Chain A
Amino acid sequence: MLLALAWKNIWRNKKRSLIVVIAITFGLWGGLLSGAIMMGMGESMIKSAISRDLAHIQIHKMHYNRDKLITNYIPNSKEILSQLNQSGEVKAVSPRTLIYGMAASPESSFGIRIVGIDPQKAKQVTDIHEKIVKGGYFESDRKNQCVIGQKLAKRLNLKIRSKVILSFEGLEEDIKYLACRVTGIYDTESSQFDETNLYVRQSDLLRILESEAIYHEIAILLNSTRLIDPFRDQLKADYNSLQIQSWNELAPDLEFLSVTMQNFTYLFVAIILFALLFGITNTMLMSVVDRIRELGVLIAIGMKKFKVFIMILLETIFLSLTGGILGIIIGGLSIVYFNFAGINLTAFAASLEGFGASAILYPFLPTVMYIIMTIMIIVAANLAAILPAWKAMHLQPSEAIRTY
């Protein structure tokens, strides 16, 4: 009955309550949607990085990331590849030969990473082949083809069929050269990646190196993201002399960014709720002042002051939750819609690519965040209720019942 009384009380002044409810609804809607866009951007950066290059797990020789020398290749790669290919948890594997060197065109030269791949295997792990904007992705069997990023093409003024000279250190510390022809130009979400990664067939690279198969990196794509941590741990146990890292260990900045986006969303909503808190407090104070006589009567006839406090608290929570839940529903529906349709930010594509994010964002919020938002609303409502509830419970009934 106290709950019913509190609920009915908030609708006694419909206009006043509706203004607060609408303020909370739209405040929260805006907060949730912008938070979801930030989260979507973070997720886009992670997904792009995983599908562009990182995959779920990578294997390197221990300390390869510190000394990226050609000689630091994985020693027992055949055995590892054989085990990975037999694993039911692995979707695809792409062994890569990585060499740091220079790419030179008749006009300019630039320091790059030469990525030697088996195109068929690489296709199953990364999506560079889907990002081709000119030419193709190793479509013919012709030797010495290379696929380069659009930004590198611009920097070196290269076009399809242009010749590019790659120079790099060989296994014997000698300088090797590979003259290749540009057969494909790709454009990913990250302009930085596009500028520094050049793909060639592994066989072309090995021929120049006069070496049998050597791999510096094995990129693994699993059947499910939930398998990443346990599978990584299993590999670590099996190959403790190698460096085995999941995507978030390889790119901690990306994970940090994702967590930061989540925290920013909480902060954003907290700021909105903090601002709304004053509006709610004001409304509830007005509501208490309007009902001083009635509250005095309730205390006079035997309602304990604590219960009066609870009643005002409940009224504030109901008022805030009504707006909060509406805000969460509208915000949730907007997020679901835009998650399906996407938000086209092509106008900002250049700056988004600088961050490695897609120009089409798919906002999303994890379910747990909706729960935490609801708790935040209840906490804000409790804070907003303190002053009006305190005022109500300290009324002197003999004076309050004579207030008109």
Chain B
Amino acid sequence: MALIEIQHLDKIYNSSAVAVHALNDVTLNVEKKEFTAIVGPSGSGKTTMLNILGGLDKPSSGFIKIEGTDIFKLKSSELIDYRLNHIGFVFQAYNLIPVFTARENVEFIMLLQGVSKKEREKQAMALLDSVGLADRSNSRPNQLSGGQQQRVAVARSLASHPDFVLADEPTANLDSESAGDLLDLMETLNESHNMTFIFSTHDDRVIKRARRIITLQDGAVKSDVMN
């Protein structure tokens, strides 16, 4: 069974005078351990695709099953729980909680899961160690570089032991060196921890490293190739 099964996904925005077809009959599967990039020009539907994959937005028609669960049949609070326990998020602008330290940011997800304080601290430190930031565990986001913040965001995304990580343009705000380090880290996590990564990006550095590239154009899958 595929990790993610997407069938005839449509998303139409009716908010403006003219209906916008953001996704148009998208059908594809994502297997475990994939390192996949969803690419395409602005307005091609990458963000919509990622939002729907993350359960942040609902499709107009079609369905998504994650490990057999049709996530849009879940109630609103069940869907939040599902995101908490099954999906990791990495955002373009890092989006760490500014008043928390790096360790507290990573711990916060586990707090929402009800993990004990002792276990949270232990796992958070292990995750920060795995992203090479154990020595910056007590730093606040504003004391970290963009690359470091994004690595903390990766550690946070892994803290809940998700089935897969969705990364929305994760390298867009990073310089080349930081972007390279981040991709190295994600690749390592993908290979050593079997973690599935799905990126939306138009960054060539990411596209070159991705093993599967799904290209969207006008909301439809234009190509789906192995790299």
Contacts and interface: CB of A to CB of B under 8 A. Distances in A.
Interface of A: 1-2, 5, 8-9, 11-12, 293-294, 297-307, 397-398, 401-402
Given A1-B108, A5-B100, A303 B80 contact: yes
B99 A12 contact: yes
Given A1-B111, A5-B100, A398-B57, A304 B95 contact: no
B160 A302 contact: yes
Interface of B: 47, 51, 54, 56-57, 76-77, 80-81, 83-85, 89, 91, 93, 95, 97-100, 104, 107-109, 111-113, 156, 160
B99 A5 contact: yes
B136 to A, nearest CB: 19
Given A302-B81, A303-B80, A398-B56, 12 more contacts: A1-B111, A5-B108, A300-B83, A300-B89, A301-B84, A301-B89, A301-B109, A301-B156, A302-B83, A302-B160, A306-B77, A401-B56
A401 B57 CA distance: 12
A302 B54 CA distance: 11
B97 A5 contact: yes
Contacts of B85: 302
B-side interface mostly = helix
26 contacts: A1-B108, A5-B100, A12-B98, A293-B93, A293-B95, A294-B95, A294-B97, A297-B89, A300-B89, A301-B89, A301-B112, A301-B156, A302-B81, A302-B84, A302-B85, A302-B109, A304-B77, A304-B80, A304-B112, A305-B76, A306-B77, A307-B112, A397-B56, A398-B57, A401-B56, A402-B47
Given A398-B51, A398-B56, A299 B80 contact: yes
Contacts of A397: 56
A1 B47 CA distance: 32
B166 to A, nearest CB: 10
B80 A401 contact: no
Nearest to B79: A302
Give the interface centre of B47, B56, B104, B111 by most chain A CB atoms within 10 Å: B56
A305 B79 CA distance: 11
B56 A297 contact: no
A8 B104 CA distance: 12
Give the interface centre of A298, A303, A401 by most chain B CB atoms within 10 Å: A401
B100 to A, nearest CB: 7
Contacts of A2: 111
Contact of B112 (A293, A294, A303, A398): A303
A11 B104 CA distance: 17
Nearest to A400: B56
B56 A300 contact: yes
B80 A302 contact: yes
A221 to B, nearest CB: 62
Contacts of A12: 98-99
Nearest to B48: A398
Contacts of A307: 112
B122 to A, nearest CB: 15
Contacts of A301: 83-84, 89, 109, 112, 156
A5 B111 CA distance: 12
B178 to A, nearest CB: 21
Contact of A9 (B57, B76, B80, B99): B99
B213 to A, nearest CB: 24
A7 to B, nearest CB: 9
A283 to B, nearest CB: 17
B104 A1 contact: yes
A402 B57 CA distance: 13
Contact of A1 (B76, B77, B95, B107): B107
Contacts of B113: 302
Given A1-B107, A398-B57, A305 B80 contact: yes
A303 B156 CA distance: 13
A302 B112 contact: yes
B51 to A, nearest CB: 4
Contacts of A402: 47
Contacts of A294: 95, 97-98
Contacts of A305: 76-77, 80
A88 B98 CA distance: 69
Contact of B54 (A8, A298, A300): A300
B95 A297 contact: yes
Contact of B99 (A8, A293, A298): A8
3 shortest interchain CB distances as A-B pairs: A302-B84, A8-B99, A398-B56
Contacts of B51: 398
Contacts of B57: 398
Contacts of B109: 301-302
Contacts of B156: 301
A294 B54 CA distance: 17
Contacts of A1: 104, 107-108, 111
A90 B34 CA distance: 93
B132 to A, nearest CB: 22
Contacts of A302: 80-81, 83-85, 109, 112-113, 160
A60 B89 CA distance: 85
